[in-house]
Amino acid sequence: MGKLRVFISAVIFTLLITSCAPAVVEEKLGSCSTEQGVAIKDHISKQINAIADGDWQRAYDYAAPSFKQAITLTEFKQVISKQYLFLIFNNGINFGECKNTDQGINQIVYIDFQGKKRTLSYDLTLTDKRLGVVAANEIEQKVEVAA
């Protein structure tokens, strides 16, 4: 009887957890739906918050399986620490355009860092209804000089 109770509790717990997870809907090419955009913003925000908290394993868990096959946790930490320091010490994030592309999903993210905005282009995949970050590349802002 005890094993049955444990099994039933495990099933109920699993159902509760999965029912709380945001549903990610596959979309047609073009702009993300509101529902999809919310799930993507939540996913990226959680990864950036984990990075800012120094919780490297949790941040790495938001990566896509293909990313994890190519980059180890140690390499991930090194790249962020050297090239994306503004993610660790950010002063806030905002979101721009979200698009479904032939390669997956692209989300523009603006990072406030030391009084300046940094722009990242996040590429994500949807595998088995699970979002995963494949890459985040900084978009250099052109500075126009008055003549």
What are the tens digits of pLDDT across the range 39-85?
Answer: 999 999 999 999 999 999 999 999 999 999 999 999 999 999 999 99
Over residues 106-120, the mean pLDDT reads: 96
d(CA 43, CA 139): 20
Question: For residues 106 and 123, is the Cβ–Cβ distance under 8 A?
Answer: yes
Residues composing the chain: 147
Q: Hey, where are the domains in the chain? A: 32-139
Tokens describing residue 92: 């806030």
Question: How much is the pTM?
Answer: 0.77
CATH architecture for segment(s) 32-139: Roll (3.10)
Which DSSP letter does residue 108 get? E
Cα–Cα separations (whole angstroms), residue 94 to 45, 90, 107, 113, 134: 9, 11, 11, 12, 19
Residues 6 or more apart whose CB falls under 8 angstroms from that of 4 comprise none
Question: For residues 114 and 135, is the Cβ–Cβ distance under 8 A?
Answer: no
